[in-house]
Amino acid sequence: PATIYLKDYTPPNCLVDQVTLDISIHAGFARVAARLAMRRNPVSAGGPLKLDGEDLQLESLSLDGQPLTASAWRLEGETLVIDEVPDAFVLETVVRIDPDQNTQLSGLYRSKDGYFTQCEAQGFRRITYYPDRPDVMAKFVCTLHADKASFPVLLANGNPVAQGDEDNGRHWATWEDPFAKPAYLFACVAAKLDMVEDYYVTTSGRRVRCAVYVEPGKLDQCDHAMAAIKKSMKWDEDVFGLEMDLDHYMIVAVGDFNMGAMENKGLNIFNTKYVLARPDTATDTDYQNIDRVVAHEYFHNWTGNRVTCRDWFQLSLKEGLTVFRDQQFGMDMHSAGVTRIQEVRGLRAAQFPEDAGPMAHPIRPASYAEINNFYTATVYEKGAEVIRMIHTLIGKQAFRRGMDLYFQRHDGQAVTCEDFISAMQDASGKDLAQFQRWYNQAGTPKLVVRSQFDAAARRYTLEVTQQFPATPYEERMTKDGLPQARGPYHLPIVIGLLDGEGRELPLRLEGETSPVGTQRVLELREAQQRFVFEDVATEPVPSLLRGFSAPVLLDYPYSTAQLTHLMAYDTDAVNRWEAGQRLATGILLEGVAAIQAGKTTNDWIPQDYITALARLLGSAFVEGGDPALVAEALNPPSENVLAEQMEVVDPDAIHGARMTLLRTLARELREAFLAAYLELASDEPYSPEGEQAGRRALRNACLSYLAQLDEAGAQALVVGHFEQAGNMTDTFAALASLASLDIPARHVALDSFYSKWRDEALVVDKWLQVQALSRLPGTTADVRALMTHPAFDIRNPNKVYALVRAFCAANPKHFHGADGEGYRLAADVILQLDPMNPQVASRIARCFDRWRKFDPARQALARQQLERIRAASSLSADVAEVVGKALE
Q: How many residues does the chain have?
A: 888
Which of Zn ion, ligand HT7, none does residue 373 bind (CB under 5 to 8 Å by kind)?
A: none
Which residues, other chains included, contact 713 with Cβ-Cβ below 8 Å and sequence gap of 6+? none
Q: Is 733 in the site for ligand HT7 (CB under 6 A)?
A: no
Q: Is 466 in the site for ligand HT7 (CB under 6 A)?
A: no
Q: Is 297 in the site for ligand HT7 (CB under 6 A)?
A: yes
Q: How many CB atoms are closer than 10 A to CB 84? A: 10
Nearer to ligand HT7, 118 or 174 (CB): 118
Q: Phi and psi dihedrals of 721, rounded to 5?
A: -60, -45
Which long-range contacts (C-beta less than 8 Å, at least 24 apart) are formed by 200-208? 200/229, 200/230, 200/233, 200/234, 200/244, 200/249, 202/233, 202/237, 202/243, 202/244, 203/237, 203/243, 204/243, 206/243, 206/244, 206/247, 207/247, 208/233, 208/244, 208/246, 208/247, 208/248, 208/249
Q: Is 626 in the site for ligand HT7 (CB under 6 A)?
A: no
Instruction: State which of residues 104, 232, 258, 543 lies at the interface with ligand HT7 (CB under 6 A).
Output: 258
Q: Is 498 in the site for ligand HT7 (CB under 6 A)?
A: no
Positions in 88-127 near ligand HT7 (CB under 6 A): 118, 120-121
- Contact between 195 and 203 under an 8 Å Cβ cutoff? The reply is no
Nearer to ligand HT7, 315 or 701 (CB): 315
Interaction pattern, residues 320-349, with Zn ion; x per rule: CB under 5 A: --x---------------------------
Helix axes 607-619, 651-668, angle to 10 degrees: 60
Nearer to ligand HT7, 225 or 261 (CB): 261
Query: Is 297 among the residues known to form the active site?
Result: yes
Minimum distance of ligand HT7 from residue 368's CB (angstroms): 13
Q: Phi and psi dihedrals of 162, rounded to 5?
A: -165, 155
Instruction: State which of residues 284, 319, 354, 878 lies at the interface with ligand HT7 (CB under 6 A).
Output: 319
Q: Tell me the CA end-to-end span of the chain in Å, nearest whole number.
A: 14
Which of Zn ion, ligand HT7, none does residue 372 bind (CB under 5 to 8 Å by kind)?
A: ligand HT7
Q: Phi and psi dihedrals of 366, rounded to 5?
A: -95, -10
Nearer to ligand HT7, 121 or 127 (CB): 121
Q: Radius of gyration of the chain from Cα atoms?
A: 28
CB neighbour class for 562 (10 Å; exposed up to 12, middle 13-18, buried from 19): buried
Q: Is 354 in the site for ligand HT7 (CB under 6 A)?
A: no
- Give the CA count within 13 Å in the CB-facing half-sphere of 120: 27
- CA 644 vs CA 269, 452, 577, 590: distances in Å: 36, 29, 19, 15
Beta bridge partner(s), residue 97: 30
Q: Is 256 in the site for ligand HT7 (CB under 6 A)?
A: no
Instruction: State which of residues 136, 189, 259, 707 lies at the interface with ligand HT7 (CB under 6 A).
Output: 259
CA distance 525 to 509: 17
Judged by CB under 6 A, the stretch of 37-45, 253-261, 639-647, 809-817 that binds ligand HT7 is 253-261
Nearer to ligand HT7, 24 or 376 (CB): 376
Judged by CB under 6 A, the stretch of 195-203, 259-267, 403-411, 740-748 that binds ligand HT7 is 259-267
Minimum distance of ligand HT7 from residue 338's CB (angstroms): 23
Minimum distance of ligand HT7 from residue 257's CB (angstroms): 7
Positions in 263-292 near ligand HT7 (CB under 6 A): 263
Nearer to ligand HT7, 185 or 344 (CB): 185
Q: Which residue is nearest to ligand HT7 (CB)?
A: 259
CA distance 490 to 484: 17
Positions in 14-53 near Zn ion (CB under 5 A): none
CA distance 695 to 688: 11
CA distance 330 to 295: 9
Determine the distance from the C-alpha atom of residue 77 to the mean position of all C-alpha atoms in its chain, rounded to a whole number.
34
Nearer to ligand HT7, 135 or 297 (CB): 297
Identify the active-site residue in 297, 370, 381, 504: 297
Q: Is 654 in the site for ligand HT7 (CB under 6 A)?
A: no
Q: Is 303 in the site for ligand HT7 (CB under 6 A)?
A: no
Interaction pattern, residues 816-845, with ligand HT7; x per rule: CB under 6 A: -----------------------x------
Nearer to ligand HT7, 263 or 343 (CB): 263
> Could you list the residues that contact Zn ion (CB under 5 A)?
319, 322
> Could you list the residues that contact ligand HT7 (CB under 6 A)?
118, 120-121, 258-259, 261-263, 296-297, 300, 319, 372, 375, 839
Annotated active-site positions, please? 297
